[in-house]
Structure 1
Amino acid sequence: MARIVDLSKTIEYKKEDPWFMRIKVKHKPHHKAFMLIRYFLKLPTKLFPKDFVGWADDAIKKMGVHSSTHIDAPWHYSPTVAGQPAKTIDQVPLDWCYGDGVVIDMSHKPDFEEITVDDLKADLQKNSVTLTSGNIVLIRTDRDKLKGADFVDKGTGMSKEATEWLIDQGIKVMGIDQWGWDLPLRYLVREAKRTNNPDLFWQAHLVGKDKEYCHMEQLTNLSALPAKGFKVAVFPLKIKGASASPARVVAIFDE
């Protein structure tokens, strides 16, 4: 029997979220659907099954593909990878999306300090973990516990070099439990203005121009996982031509 640990956020409206993160879901109760069913079928109530109250229905009114827990396709980073057309989310091979999971604990990293290659190697060595091609690597920062604007404005972030190093180990899919893969955006804006340096932005994302990979953002519950010994499933919705997709990411333990 398998034990499954959910690593995904709930898709829901949260007033405390910044405006650009808010999701709107319209829930349609049974009785309203019943009226519509009667109208379209032109069927009198007496001919419906006894005690039938209608079908519940729901509509997602506002939700971007980068909202909540999601996986970015190579197309998100650039239209090409090493000169070849980049994959959209519907073109990402499903065998990339299921594999042995590895958690790298970076929860000790302070806000606004990049995660380096040495950081990754030190944690892997501490836990006697050797990466192999096809692993799905999860970067634990514990910033999933932050709420509202703090979730967006605080956190660590992967460096360009650390992202490249993971890809060079054969890792196609990796993820993090904070708002973004890179350092927080507003911090980078402040630093760019202070230093007059345009090269600070999205350094880890832009690795995708030269090396093919996908990363997940806004994972949750990584603190419940060991460093190794489980599978990860992260199947995206098959959205034609999309740059990303919401995903129900889970860890699976074979017990």
Structure 2
Amino acid sequence: MRIIDLSSPIDAAGWEPDPITHEIMTPAEGARHMSEEMREHFGLEFDPADLPGGELLSLDTLTLTSHTGTHVDAPSHYGSVGSYGTPRHIDQMPLDWFLRPAVVLDVTDVGTGVIGADRVEAELRRIGFQPQPLDIVLLHTGASRHAGTPEYFTDFAGLDGPAVDFLLDLGVRVIGTDAWSLDAPFGHMIERYQETGDKSVLWPAHFAGRRREYCQIERLTALGSLERPYGFRVACFPVKIAGAGAGWTRAVALVDE
């Protein structure tokens, strides 16, 4: 079995609307920190100089949102009330949703804008595949090439409401994308709304989760490296953050050889 990494890194050097803070405590600093913590919390005295090289362990402290890097959105992210009941947080979601057969749909031709149900259906016909209940559907939009730049947040394509409903009607409960959002870019949605007055064009993919329970994986990468569009599994277990609307994941494709 080959394991293909589909996850983008959490990288403080990349451009983010909500900047990442990454502070690194060196092993020598970690030794002094440990000594101070032991004294304060446990009343123990220990001289860091007694350690080899005066070093203990490094420590990383990060400030970031749960939507930084590759992550899974929970139903509670989409709103506080769902027509199906109270939306669940990420730590409440069933684990068997996140290790499933998967299919990747090539929609790189869409560019920036909206991916409709007809485009999704056409791609499924082209590759000769019908998703089964609980299969994971991944959208290869090509947006990951902009990761780490401002363009990553403005130049991509996202699903409209009918496209999400089409997949949910098939029993899909996890939909992933290599873009920043499963919805179209802010500017595109707002421009369409201002032109038409149609509120249904505003965050339709996310708001679909208020009607029907499902999860999104956002900010995937390397979907184009998969040699075939199906015949593999995806593992994307979210980090168990109590009461959170999302959790980071190290998403991977598992390809049997």
- Fold match, TM over 0.5? yes
Distance apart, 1:26 and its partner CA:
1.0
- The equivalent residue for 1:229 is 231
- The equivalent residue for 1:186 is 187
CA distance in 2, matches of 1:191, 1:156: 14
- The equivalent residue for 1:171 is 172
Alignment of 1:149-164 (within 5 A): 149-164=150-165
Task: In structure 2, list runs of 5 or more residues that go unmatched.
Answer: 39-43
Alignment of 1:1-255 (within 5 A): 2-15=1-14, 17-20=15-18, 22-39=19-36, 40=38, 41-44=44-47, 47-48=50-51, 50-51=52-53, 53-60=55-62, 62-112=63-113, 114-147=114-147, 148-225=149-226, 226-255=228-257
Preserved contact between residue 48 and residue 54 of structure 2 (Cα < 8 Å): no
CA distance in 2, matches of 1:138, 1:12: 23
From the superposition, tell whether residues 18 and 46 of structure 1 become closer, same or farther in structure 2 (CA, over 3 Å): closer
The superposition leaves residues 46-82 of structure 1 with CA deviations (integer Å, 9 ceiling, x where unpaired) of 754x45621111111x211111111110111122332
Distance apart, 1:37 and its partner CA:
2.8
Preserved contact between residue 104 and residue 223 of structure 2 (Cα < 8 Å): yes
Is the deviation greater in 215-224 or in 76-85?
A: 76-85
- Percentage of identical aligned residues: 30
CA distance in 1, matches of 2:202, 2:101: 31
What is the one-letter code of the residue matched to 1:6?
D
Runs of 4 or more, structure 1, over 6 Å off, are none
From the superposition, tell whether residues 88 and 195 of structure 1 become closer, same or farther in structure 2 (CA, over 3 Å): same
CA distance in 1, matches of 2:20, 2:49: 39
Is the deviation greater in 243-252 or in 75-84?
A: 75-84
Preserved contact between residue 12 and residue 24 of structure 1 (Cα < 8 Å): no
Distance apart, 1:45 and its partner CA:
5.1
CA distance in 2, matches of 1:119, 1:145: 22
CA distance in 2, matches of 1:183, 1:120: 15
CA distance in 2, matches of 1:46, 1:14: 34
Query: Number of aligned pairs?
Result: 249
RMSD: 1.7
Q: TM-score, normalised by structure 2?
A: 0.91
From the superposition, tell whether residues 52 and 223 of structure 1 become closer, same or farther in structure 2 (CA, over 3 Å): same
Preserved contact between residue 30 and residue 57 of structure 2 (Cα < 8 Å): yes
Preserved contact between residue 181 and residue 205 of structure 1 (Cα < 8 Å): yes
Task: In structure 1, list runs of 5 or more residues that go unmatched.
Answer: none
